[in-house]
Amino acid sequence: MASSTPTKTSARETAYQEIRFRIITGADQPGALLSENELALVLGLSRTPVREALLLIAQEGLVEVRPQSGTYVTYIDPDVVAQAQFIREAIELASLRECVRQFDAEEAAVLREILVRQSKASTREEFYPLDEEFHRRLLSIAGHENAWVMVSNAKGHLDRARYLGLSGFRGIHEYVGDHGAIVDALEAGKLDVAEDALRTHLRFILEDVDTIRRLHPELFGAGQFPERRSGRPARV
């Protein structure tokens, strides 16, 4: 008889991915009160995997579980964004040297195909997963795909800011251009050029955060949460 553990784990992972994505994309915005019952209904799951997923997401600092009150989406913290960007930059840059060594025509073709799909994206909903795919592939080429898990777990606040940055602060074509420059440098075997291109690309978010914070201060806070909030804020 098959064990029930894989099914339970799969349900929790599904809940984790879906709820986290809702927070990253702003479907559930900072300060929103999350209902386990509502999420379970929307996701077609029981409350148990939803509750377990929320605890995992809380470890990333994307929600705060408050006893006797509820689970709230945290506000975006610029300091946490900067820390996550530092971690991501360190890991991705460190992988580029091995990436250059392993780079061949097949890997170039894979990345070029991702770039083609990115260039056809017209919305942030279309582009965001392709951006993730590109950066994950770079780590995979270097033989460090497992490091993506560490990067992902550290960059929840960063991802929210990145997604907001796709609202017009930088055009999608600019991101695709950055990616193209990185691939060009890798294909030419120019490590220093690839590193400079990747570093510049990853650091744009720090400028975006300052702009986003001025335009949408309601998304940033000092960690205070409302006791109750009916409905959800309008998406940015």
For the segment 143-187, what is each residue's pLDDT rounded down to a tens digit?
998 888 888 878 888 888 888 877 666 788 999 999 999 999 999
Q: Which residues of the chain have pLDDT under 70?
A: 1-9, 167-169, 222-236
**pLDDT at position 5, please?**
45
**pLDDT at position 169, please?**
66
Where are the alpha helices (H) located in 26-104, listed in sequence order? 36-43, 47-59, 78-102
**pLDDT at position 75, please?**
93
Identify each DSSP E strand in the chain by its residue range.
33-34, 63-66, 70-73
Whether 34 and 73 have beta carbons less than 8 Å apart is answered as yes
- Rounded CA-CA distance 121/168 in Å is 14
Q: Which domains does the chain have, with CATH numbers?
A: 5-74 (1.10.10.10), 78-215 (1.20.120.530)
Residue 121's nearest CA partner among 129, 109, 133 is: 129
**pLDDT at position 209, please?**
85
pTM: 0.80
- Rounded CA-CA distance 38/47 in Å is 9
**pLDDT at position 1, please?**
43
